Amino acid sequence: MQFAGSRGKEDNMVAQNRLLTGYQVVDRLIELRDLLKEGPCTRREITERMFVWYHDDASGERVLRRDMACLRQMGYQIGEDKRTRKYWLEGSSANLAFNEEEIRTLA
């Protein structure tokens, strides 16, 4: 039973995501980058391994898409197989560390 004014579990997770610091976002991006370096994985595998950051719902999917786009903007080449719906980090053309400007931008 929920009382008026109290938040459900999902509402609390959404509120926590809104309060992320820039450093937590950087941590999430680094963890995603490192997971993609390990080899191809599906969205479901990503959400299972990184459940703290990506929830198995529409909101989690949006955050993951945004993070993939952010990594691409930083120069990481992310491979995608639309048939198997797998993602991976291609080659090592991108700088594997964030520079000061990228950290400030993310914060």
**pLDDT given at position 56:** 86
Give the H/E segment covering residue 92. Answer: none
Beta strands in the chain (DSSP E): 41-42, 77-81, 86-90
Check residues 18 and 3 and name the one with the higher pLDDT: 18
Q: How confident is the model at residue 35 (pLDDT cuts 50, 70, 90)?
A: very high
Is the per-residue pLDDT at 13 higher than 80? no
What distances in angstroms separate CA 66 from CA 10, 47, 61, 91, one per listed residue?
20, 14, 9, 21
Q: What is the pLDDT of residues 48-106, one digit of tens each?
A: 999 999 998 999 999 999 999 999 999 999 999 999 989 999 975 445 566 677 777 77
Give the C-alpha separation, 7 to 60, whole Å.
Answer: 19
DSSP type of residue 96: S
